[in-house]
Structures are given as C-alpha cells and as structure tokens.
Structure 1
Amino acid sequence: MVRGGQIHVRNVVSGLRARGHDVRLIDWNDEPERSFQRSLSPHFRFGFDPTRTLVRAISVGRQMDADAIISKTRKTYLAGLGAAAALDISHVVHVGSSPTAAGGSISDCLLDKSFEARLRAPHDAYFVVCQAIGDELEALGIDPNRVFDVKNAVDTDRFHPDGPPDPLSSSDMKRLPDDDDLRLGYVGGLHEYKGLDDLADALDRVHSDSHLIVAGDGPDRERLERKFGSTATFLGAIPYEQIPAFYHEIDVLVLPSHTEGLPRVVLEAQATGTPVVATRVGGVPEVVEDGQTGLLCDAHDPDCLAAAIDRLATDGAERSRLAEVGREAVATSFTWDSLYGRYERFLRTICD
C-alpha cells in the first residue's frame, strides 16, 4: 500500500474504523496487510478477478450486514454494483481521475468509452476528489445531486515544514546536486501525460540556474533521462516514508501534467511548505490559487513554466510567501479528519 490510491484506501478504512464504523476492504493482494482486508490473490484482472470480487463482496456484505459498498477503481465498478444489488444496499463509485484519457490513440479512446459506460451504470452515488471531475460527470449526463466531493487529504503532521521523520537514503543524498542552483522537484509516474517533455523544454528556456530532481519511475524513464540530460537527476522510486524528506530537499515542486484529478503531491508539497508550480488541469486550480498559494500555467506551455521557474528562482521572498500561504490553506481544508467527516456525512445522506 504505497501508491496514492492505495494510501487513500488504507487511510479512509482505518480512519472510519477508528471512528467506530465497521469497514472491510476487499482488494487484490497476495497477502492481506491489515486486519480489515479480505484479500483475493490476483490471477486475471479482466473478467475473472472482478467476478471473484463480486462473489467475495456478497459474502462479506452478508456476514457484516453492510449498509453500502464503495468501489474504488474502475475495474471493480460493475462487480461492486452487482454485489450491492444482490444485497439490496447502496452502491458508491469513487472517481479519482478524469473520465477522459490524456492520449488520442485508439486504445485511449477504447479506455474512455469503457470508463464512461461503467460510470453510466445505475450507481447510487459518486465520490469525486474535486469539482472538476464532478463537472465532467454532469457532462456525461449523471445527475449532479448524486455526486459528492470528498476531496483528497494529506497528513499535515507528517508533511510539515519543521522537518521529515525519515531522511532520504544516503545513496540518494549523494546524488543530489551540491551547487547553489534552484532545486526543482517532481514526484510521480514517468508517463507522457505527466507533461515532463514540456518541463524539459522549459528548462532549455530558463535564464536562472536550476536543476530538476525526479522521484518516480515509469515507462518513459530512459527516454526522459536522455532528453533532460544534465539538467535533471532521476532518483527512481523512493519509499513513501521518505517523500516528506524529498520535499525538504527541493525548493519548488513542479507538476506539468496534461490531466489530473486532485493530485496528492501538490497537497503534500504545500503541507511541507514547498512552493508549487503546476498546470491548470483537473482539480489543481481548486487547491492552487495562482499567485496566492502557488503558480499556475496552462498545460503544454513550456514558456509559462520557464517564466514561473525564473520568477521563483530570483525571488526568495516570493517562495517563502507561497510556502506559508499554501501550508495554511492545506491545513485548513485538506486534513484526513476533515475527509473522514465528509465520508460520514455523505454516506449517511446516501444510506438514509
């Protein structure tokens, strides 16, 4: 449970259980990692595993006299819907990403259509992480009264300006640049839709001295390493426990994505007191107010990214101001406790 969606599930289930609710997790995992998991060892995720999930959900739901089923990923939307129908209880789908894929290939179009078909199934409610996704669901013909914005959350004690609980490994520390250049950071997968090609082009256009440090891995890594050359250091995937330390080692987080839901990395950076430069996509403008809690650029705009980097490189006071205001905004509205409260309130509305 180290990826963003998995962390969300773990924390929501643990948090609601701590508040006295009986919550079980049915997941695809070789071995359960928590007492609340009812894991299924994955075999074939198209058709076979969702069917097994359906059967397991009905069994667990009957044992615990469940009031609702929440399906977290699109692969389980129909399985969860079938189980809820069999149990005669409410079914909620969690939508954490845009229903529209970033690419324009035939496979992307097929994925779009499959996702849309699953979303249009007769679910009782939709939990979204930002209003932007809610608007997309409404455009697909889904009743906005069935859409609930649960938002995302961040551990504002673990991600804190006062310091990380776990330092970066000594090997990673040795790879960090030791000069006075502005340290830019990126955290996430290395995929085309993340916009790193735009960031590479932007670094070719900046006038200030800067260096990018990348924490993450993915299919585009080798190609991106060649494209960035000496302007970036790729650390690969680092343990989640060390991510707070990563934010403390950089001066600015840059997220140049072409599509997003409500990216947790932005919340984490803001909670740590690290200023953010991000693209104006998905729910990002709902947590980054341009010029107030960070800087925003249009997607596919290397010139704007370069200008934002130069602006922060030459103005330390601006970096400090954005860091302070960003931390305050996240600590007010995006804590886990506030998210648990939204879950409780919305589920009561749905199940009543």
Structure 2
Amino acid sequence: MTDTIAIAHKDYDCRGGGEVFCRRLAEYLDCPMFVGRRNLTNEPDNSAIDITEIPLSRPEQWMIDRGGLTRTAAYMLRWPAAADQLSQFDTIITSGNEPLWWVPDDDQTVIAYTHSTPRYMYDLFNEKTDFQSLTGRLATVFYNAQRVLYETNVNRPDVWVANSELVARRIERYWNIDESQIEVVHPPVDTHEFSPEAAETDDYYLYLGRLAGAKCVDQVVAAFDELDAELVIAGTGSERERLEAMAGESVRFTGFVSEERKRELYAGARALIFPAQNEDFGMVPIEAMAAGTPVLGVRDGFTRFQVQPGECGLLWERGELAETVRAFERDGVTWSETEIATYAATNWSIGRFESEMQAVIDEATETTAVEVDLETPARGFECPIPQSAATDGGTE
C-alpha cells in the first residue's frame, strides 16, 4: 500500500448532514469516497470528488428497496464485500454506522466518524417501538440481535470521532467505548456563505429540513394553527402529504429549495423553528444564526446547547411552541443580527472542522503504526558458539 486515505460513507443519495461532512472532508483531503448508493441529481454541480459506488447484487437491491429491517440486513451483507476496494488504502475514515460491517486489514488505520448510534435501536428505542404489536415484538428481537452484532464490530476502529458531545455520550453508553478513544469534532458549516444581508427581514417564520417523523414538523404546524403568523416550510420528505392535510392557510410549503434560495429564506425569516427530536448535532440552526436569524429551538438533544436563550433565540418545551412564539414577538432577543452571525462563525466553521480533523488523522496514523524494537549487535560482535555445537563435530 502507499500512504493513502479514503472515505467510506453509507449512501450519497441525498443532501443531508452526513453528505455535507463527506463532501467537505473529501475536498479538504483530496481523497476518494466509497459509498453504498449515490444519486447524481443530489450532488453539487461543481463537485470534482472521485466517488465509487459499492457493487450491489439484485437480492441486496431488493432488500434495500423494501426498507426497514430488510434494508439494515442488506447493509450487513454489502459492506464486507467492499474489502477489495478499501484494502488498498492505508487509512479509512468511515462515515455513519453501516461501513462498520467492513473488516479492515490489520495494518490499516480506521477512524470512525459517527453522526449517531442507530437511533431506533438505542436512544429512540423505547419511544418508537410498539411493544404490543407482533411487528414491534419481532423488531425488538431483531434489534436485540443487531445490538450484539454491533458490539462485535465497534471494536474495530482505532479512533472514534463524534459529531457532538451528545453523540460521544451515546457511543460511550451504548457501545461501551472508553471515553479516551472518543474525540469530538463538530461537522463543517460554511458560515461565511450566509449573511443577514442576503434578504430583508420579512414577516414569516421558517422551518427548513426534511419532512420526516423524527423532525416533529407536525408539532410546528399544529402550533401555528393557534397563531396569527405565517409559517414557511422548506424541504421534502415522506411526511409532506400528511402535513399539508393538517396545515391551515397561514402555512406555505415550498418543497426543495436551491442553496441561493435557502440563504434568502434564512435571512428573511423572523426566526427559525427547530423541533427535531433529540437532535444529534443540527446544521440548520447554525446556518440560520450565520444569517443573523434567531432560532426558536426545542429544549432537546444538542439543540439546547446551540441556542443561548434570550440572546440568539429561545428554547421551548414540547407543547409550548405557540406560547414561545408569542413571547418572542413580545420580547425578541438581545443580540443583533451581526452578533448572532458572529456567534455562529466563531463556534462553527469549515476552517475549524478541517484543523480538528487533521489533528485526529495525524494522531491516529502515528499511534497505530506498527513498530518492532530489536537490539542490533555492536561492531566486532562475534556470536558465541554453544559448547554442544563445538563438540558435535567430533562425535561418531
């Protein structure tokens, strides 16, 4: 092998936080990326990253298309087959959990960047599993078995990198990884791409992100039914049809928006509403603050650490969003748009991400190098001949 590095990521088929992480890291390291699946329509037009899709068999494709537990099983079969491609690199940075099923060579350095432990198996297990139904009970059996399998796989990385202190705690608790093996590097947020000057502040509130169950967008829609305020929902997902059915006239759905339009929406909003359940990190609140926009975030997950209450936004308890919006309209926040944007840029940036990841890579490759300490004889050293060997030649 030559001194090379590559990234292994579950799928590159959407524009989520994991994909942003991989793209930024691959651009910085100028290294290739191996992915389970890719969707060219979701990749930036100016991307020059070398992306290789792991070959997929027909049974595995069928299992992935079915979703749920069968999809998880497909990834368990798929990533070990990537060994031929990944073994040619000295260092592999895995992104997400699925590449952990791959078995590295003994002389490879493995850095596992973790966006979260599998949520439906761990931190959301009790809340999301229907223990009374047959499907829920079968899922419980499968999750229990999968936990055992994960615990045998998570010992393979040399270094763990969590995307937040909250995820570091999950890795330690659920996978029994010693905290000394876990580093925290927040994901890259291009805070300089956003500005309060991108648009004049308008009279709407904004939700931006995927329309999925764990994002709890239905709670936002329900709250704005009680308010005399406009809500703009930007994003797509499986929940859109249900959300549109329950939304009132003051709620407007935009669907997918371009990066330019996203910057305008952030800057023009009175505030961003962020309701996600036990969020691992959350790039959206940081992007909004980089645009000088306050964040009304749920007091949950990592969101409660991002928002400084009363200064750059407000925190709300579940069921109290409408009341929080009224309080925000009455009292506002103390920081100016510029101060909010400075707060975001100071704590989160691409430059900070790159330097911290480089430090992790340097330390990991140095500490995992195999060294053998052997003594060498001094010059003029003569090997003593054992007495038995000296007399053997004279025996009959």
TM-score bucket of the superposed structures, by smaller chain: 0.7 to 0.9
- Write out aligned runs for 1:217-228 (5 A): 217-228=236-247
Structure 2 regions of 5+ residues with no counterpart? 1-13, 65-73, 131-135, 367-396
Give every structure 1 segment of 4 or more consecutive aligned residues whose post-TM-superposition deviation is greater than 4 Å. 30-33, 107-113
TM-score (norm 1): 0.80
1:74-114 CA distance string (max 9 Å, x none): 221121xx13xx15122122211354334224387555873
User: Partner residue of 1:10?
Assistant: 23
Does the 8 Å contact 1:127/1:150 carry over to 2?
yes
Q: Which amino acid aligns with 2:265?
A: F
Does the 8 Å contact 2:24/2:188 carry over to 1?
no
User: Partner residue of 1:170?
Assistant: none
User: Partner residue of 1:130?
Assistant: 164
Does the 8 Å contact 1:163/1:248 carry over to 2?
yes
Taking every aligned residue pair, what percent have the same amino acid on both sides? 21
Q: Using the alignment, how far apart are the partners of 2:151 and 2:162 within structure 1?
A: 12
Decide whether aligned partners of structure 1 residues 263 and 149 sit closer, same or farther in structure 2, where only a CA change above 3 A counts: same
Asked if 1:29 is matched to 2:61, the reply is no
Query: Highest CA radius of gyration, 1 or 2?
Result: 2
Q: Using the alignment, how far apart are the partners of 1:294 and 1:118 within structure 2?
A: 38
Does the 8 Å contact 1:95/1:129 carry over to 2?
yes
1:297-325 CA distance string (max 9 Å, x none): 23xx122x11221122234xx35726443
Any idea what SS the aligned residue of 1:70 has?
strand
Does the 8 Å contact 1:153/1:267 carry over to 2?
no
User: Partner residue of 1:172?
Assistant: none
Q: Using the alignment, how far apart are the partners of 2:83 and 2:248 within structure 1?
A: 48
TM-score (norm 2): 0.72
Q: Using the alignment, how far apart are the partners of 1:142 and 1:349 within structure 2?
A: 18
Does the 8 Å contact 1:213/1:234 carry over to 2?
yes
Asked if 1:307 is matched to 2:323, the reply is yes
Any idea what SS the aligned residue of 1:302 has?
coil
Aligned length: 316
User: Partner residue of 1:184?
Assistant: 205
Does the 8 Å contact 1:94/1:126 carry over to 2?
yes
Asked if 1:51 is matched to 2:80, the reply is yes
User: Partner residue of 2:187?
Assistant: 152
Q: Which amino acid aligns with 1:7?
A: V
Structure having greater relative contact order (Cα 8 Å, sep ≥ 6)? 1
Q: Using the alignment, how far apart are the partners of 2:144 and 2:343 within structure 1?
A: 34
1:133 is displaced (CA, Å) by 1.0
Q: Using the alignment, how far apart are the partners of 1:189 and 1:215 within structure 2?
A: 8
Decide whether aligned partners of structure 1 residues 30 and 134 sit closer, same or farther in structure 2, where only a CA change above 3 A counts: closer
1:40 is displaced (CA, Å) by 3.5
Any idea what SS the aligned residue of 2:197 has?
coil
Residue in structure 2 matching 1:282, options 280, 295, 301: 301
Decide whether aligned partners of structure 1 residues 211 and 136 sit closer, same or farther in structure 2, where only a CA change above 3 A counts: same
1:241 is displaced (CA, Å) by 4.2
Q: Using the alignment, how far apart are the partners of 2:163 and 2:208 within structure 1?
A: 19
Decide whether aligned partners of structure 1 residues 331 and 193 sit closer, same or farther in structure 2, where only a CA change above 3 A counts: same
Residue in structure 2 matching 1:114, options 146, 171, 180: 146
Q: Using the alignment, how far apart are the partners of 2:297 and 2:139 within structure 1?
A: 24
User: Partner residue of 1:336?
Assistant: 350
Of residues 218-227 and 42-51 in structure 1, the stretch that sits farther from structure 2 once superposed is: 42-51
Q: Using the alignment, how far apart are the partners of 2:301 and 2:188 within structure 1?
A: 16
Q: Using the alignment, how far apart are the partners of 2:305 and 2:151 within structure 1?
A: 23
1:254-278 CA distance string (max 9 Å, x none): 0111221111101100101111011
Decide whether aligned partners of structure 1 residues 283 and 302 sit closer, same or farther in structure 2, where only a CA change above 3 A counts: same
1:227 is displaced (CA, Å) by 1.1
Structure 1 regions of 5+ residues with no counterpart? 18-22, 165-179
Decide whether aligned partners of structure 1 residues 69 and 146 sit closer, same or farther in structure 2, where only a CA change above 3 A counts: same
Does the 8 Å contact 1:71/1:93 carry over to 2?
yes
- Write out aligned runs for 1:151-230 (5 A): 151-163=186-198, 182-206=203-227, 209-230=228-249
Of residues 286-295 and 124-133 in structure 1, the stretch that sits farther from structure 2 once superposed is: 286-295
Q: Which amino acid aligns with 1:310?
A: R
Decide whether aligned partners of structure 1 residues 90 and 308 sit closer, same or farther in structure 2, where only a CA change above 3 A counts: same
Decide whether aligned partners of structure 1 residues 30 and 278 sit closer, same or farther in structure 2, where only a CA change above 3 A counts: closer
State the superposition RMSD in angstroms: 2.8
User: Partner residue of 2:7?
Assistant: none
User: Partner residue of 1:104?
Assistant: 129
Q: Using the alignment, how far apart are the partners of 2:210 and 2:81 within structure 1?
A: 29
Q: Which amino acid aligns with 1:50?
A: W
